[in-house]
Protein backbone atom coordinates (compact mmCIF):
# COMPACT_ATOMS: atom_id res chain seq x y z
CA UNK A 1 0.00 0.00 0.00
CA UNK A 2 1.44 3.31 -1.10
CA UNK A 3 0.49 5.91 1.51
CA UNK A 4 1.67 8.75 -0.72
CA UNK A 5 -0.68 7.64 -3.52
CA UNK A 6 -3.54 7.59 -1.02
CA UNK A 7 -2.76 11.22 -0.21
CA UNK A 8 -2.57 12.13 -3.89
CA UNK A 9 -5.96 10.54 -4.55
CA UNK A 10 -7.64 12.40 -1.68
CA UNK A 11 -6.09 15.64 -2.94
CA UNK A 12 -7.44 14.96 -6.45
CA UNK A 13 -10.91 14.03 -5.21
CA UNK A 14 -11.23 17.30 -3.29
CA UNK A 15 -11.21 19.15 -6.62
CA UNK A 16 -14.89 18.11 -6.76
CA UNK A 17 -15.52 19.72 -3.34
CA UNK A 18 -16.39 17.76 -0.24
CA UNK A 19 -13.31 17.22 1.91
CA UNK A 20 -14.94 14.61 4.13
CA UNK A 21 -16.09 12.54 1.17
CA UNK A 22 -12.74 12.97 -0.59
CA UNK A 23 -10.88 11.45 2.33
CA UNK A 24 -13.49 8.80 3.11
CA UNK A 25 -13.81 7.59 -0.50
CA UNK A 26 -10.04 7.36 -0.87
CA UNK A 27 -9.82 5.22 2.27
CA UNK A 28 -12.85 3.14 1.30
CA UNK A 29 -11.16 2.29 -1.98
CA UNK A 30 -7.74 1.64 -0.46
CA UNK A 31 -8.99 -0.58 2.37
CA UNK A 32 -12.16 -1.97 0.77
CA UNK A 33 -14.33 -0.74 3.62
CA UNK A 34 -17.74 0.83 3.85
CA UNK A 35 -20.25 1.27 1.09
CA UNK A 36 -22.16 3.93 -0.81
CA UNK A 37 -24.30 4.62 2.26
CA UNK A 38 -21.32 5.50 4.43
CA UNK A 39 -19.95 7.64 1.59
CA UNK A 40 -23.27 9.47 1.30
CA UNK A 41 -23.37 10.02 5.08
CA UNK A 42 -20.17 12.09 4.82
CA UNK A 43 -21.75 14.58 2.38
CA UNK A 44 -22.75 17.18 4.95
CA UNK A 45 -19.56 17.06 7.02
CA UNK A 46 -17.41 19.07 4.60
CA UNK A 47 -16.27 22.62 5.21
CA UNK A 48 -16.25 22.03 8.92
CA UNK A 49 -19.73 20.45 9.10
CA UNK A 50 -22.16 21.87 6.55
CA UNK A 51 -19.63 24.59 5.63
CA UNK A 52 -19.89 26.11 9.11
CA UNK A 53 -16.13 26.07 9.80
CA UNK A 54 -16.37 23.69 12.74
CA UNK A 55 -14.42 20.39 12.98
CA UNK A 56 -12.33 19.82 9.85
CA UNK A 57 -14.29 17.74 7.35
CA UNK A 58 -11.17 16.02 6.02
CA UNK A 59 -10.41 14.78 9.52
CA UNK A 60 -14.03 13.69 9.98
CA UNK A 61 -13.80 11.64 6.78
CA UNK A 62 -10.71 9.91 8.17
CA UNK A 63 -12.39 9.26 11.50
CA UNK A 64 -15.40 7.81 9.69
CA UNK A 65 -13.04 5.38 7.94
CA UNK A 66 -11.54 4.45 11.30
CA UNK A 67 -15.05 3.80 12.59
CA UNK A 68 -15.72 1.49 9.65
CA UNK A 69 -12.65 -0.54 10.64
CA UNK A 70 -12.58 -0.31 14.44
CA UNK A 71 -16.10 0.75 15.34
CA UNK A 72 -18.73 -1.29 17.08
CA UNK A 73 -21.64 -2.96 15.36
CA UNK A 74 -23.61 -3.41 18.56
CA UNK A 75 -24.44 -0.44 20.82
CA UNK A 76 -24.04 -2.66 23.90
CA UNK A 77 -20.34 -3.38 23.11
CA UNK A 78 -18.95 -0.56 25.25
CA UNK A 79 -15.38 -1.88 25.28
CA UNK A 80 -15.13 -1.76 21.49
CA UNK A 81 -16.37 1.84 21.67
CA UNK A 82 -13.71 2.67 24.27
CA UNK A 83 -10.97 0.88 22.35
CA UNK A 84 -11.70 2.89 19.20
CA UNK A 85 -10.96 6.15 21.01
CA UNK A 86 -7.21 5.50 21.30
CA UNK A 87 -6.51 5.27 17.55
CA UNK A 88 -8.98 8.12 16.94
CA UNK A 89 -7.02 10.40 19.25
CA UNK A 90 -3.75 9.27 17.71
CA UNK A 91 -5.06 10.20 14.25
CA UNK A 92 -6.17 13.61 15.51
CA UNK A 93 -2.82 14.43 17.12
CA UNK A 94 -0.81 13.16 14.14
CA UNK A 95 -3.08 15.13 11.77
CA UNK A 96 -2.34 18.36 13.67
CA UNK A 97 1.40 17.68 13.74
CA UNK A 98 1.53 16.74 10.07
CA UNK A 99 -0.41 19.85 9.03
CA UNK A 100 2.06 21.98 10.94
CA UNK A 101 4.95 20.27 9.17
CA UNK A 102 3.39 20.24 5.66
CA UNK A 103 2.26 23.85 5.73
CA UNK A 104 5.17 25.19 7.82
CA UNK A 105 3.04 26.74 10.54
CA UNK A 106 5.26 28.64 12.95
CA UNK A 107 3.19 27.74 15.99
CA UNK A 108 1.63 24.37 16.70
CA UNK A 109 -1.92 23.77 15.62
CA UNK A 110 -3.96 23.58 18.80
CA UNK A 111 -7.28 22.84 17.17
CA UNK A 112 -8.97 20.80 14.47
CA UNK A 113 -11.51 23.53 13.80
CA UNK A 114 -11.80 24.29 10.07
CA UNK A 115 -11.82 28.06 10.67
CA UNK A 116 -8.57 27.79 12.67
CA UNK A 117 -6.92 25.69 9.97
CA UNK A 118 -8.04 28.17 7.30
CA UNK A 119 -6.61 31.01 9.41
CA UNK A 120 -3.24 29.24 9.52
CA UNK A 121 -3.19 28.46 5.79
CA UNK A 122 -4.73 31.60 4.30
CA UNK A 123 -4.22 34.19 7.02
CA UNK A 124 -7.98 34.44 7.56
CA UNK A 125 -11.02 32.22 7.71
CA UNK A 126 -13.95 32.20 5.31
CA UNK A 127 -17.68 31.76 5.75
CA UNK A 128 -18.15 29.04 3.17
CA UNK A 129 -21.94 29.48 3.35
CA UNK A 130 -21.66 33.02 2.04
CA UNK A 131 -21.37 33.15 -1.77
CA UNK A 132 -18.92 36.07 -1.84
CA UNK A 133 -16.76 34.67 0.94
CA UNK A 134 -16.77 31.25 -0.71
CA UNK A 135 -15.52 32.91 -3.90
CA UNK A 136 -12.82 34.67 -1.84
CA UNK A 137 -11.84 31.24 -0.48
CA UNK A 138 -11.52 29.90 -4.02
CA UNK A 139 -9.60 32.99 -5.11
CA UNK A 140 -7.20 32.49 -2.18
CA UNK A 141 -6.44 28.97 -3.45
CA UNK A 142 -9.04 27.05 -1.47
CA UNK A 143 -9.13 24.21 -3.97
CA UNK A 144 -5.56 24.51 -5.21
CA UNK A 145 -3.04 21.79 -4.43
CA UNK A 146 -1.53 23.86 -1.61
CA UNK A 147 -4.91 24.59 -0.02
CA UNK A 148 -7.64 22.40 1.39
CA UNK A 149 -6.94 19.49 -0.99
CA UNK A 150 -3.54 19.24 0.72
CA UNK A 151 -5.36 19.06 4.07
CA UNK A 152 -7.33 16.14 2.60
CA UNK A 153 -4.11 14.45 1.54
CA UNK A 154 -2.71 14.77 5.05
CA UNK A 155 -5.90 13.44 6.66
CA UNK A 156 -6.01 10.48 4.27
CA UNK A 157 -2.35 9.58 4.76
CA UNK A 158 -2.43 9.86 8.55
CA UNK A 159 -5.57 7.73 8.72
CA UNK A 160 -4.22 5.20 6.20
CA UNK A 161 -1.10 4.75 8.29
CA UNK A 162 -3.23 4.05 11.37
CA UNK A 163 -5.57 1.68 9.51
CA UNK A 164 -2.55 -0.18 8.13
CA UNK A 165 -1.12 -0.51 11.64
CA UNK A 166 -4.44 -1.77 13.00
CA UNK A 167 -4.62 -4.50 10.36
CA UNK A 168 -1.16 -5.91 11.19
pTM over 0.75: yes
Per-residue pLDDT of the chain (168 residues; tens, 9 = 90+): 799 999 999 999 998 999 999 999 999 999 999 999 999 999 999 999 999 999 999 999 999 999 999 999 999 999 999 999 999 999 999 999 999 999 999 888 899 999 999 999 999 999 999 999 999 999 999 999 999 999 999 999 999 999 999 987
Question: Which conformational region is residue 10 in: left (phi greater than 0), alpha (psi within -120 to 50 degrees), or beta?
Answer: alpha
In DSSP terms, 55 is beta-bridged to: 113
Q: Is the dihedral of CA 40, 45, 47, 49 positive or negative?
A: positive
Write down the domain spans for the chain. 3-166
**Predicted local distance difference test score (pLDDT) of residue 132:** 97
Amino acid sequence: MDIKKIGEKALAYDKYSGCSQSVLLTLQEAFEIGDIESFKAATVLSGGVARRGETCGALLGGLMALGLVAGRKDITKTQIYRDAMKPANEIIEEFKERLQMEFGFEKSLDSTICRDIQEKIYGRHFDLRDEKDYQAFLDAGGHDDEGCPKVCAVAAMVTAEKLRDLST
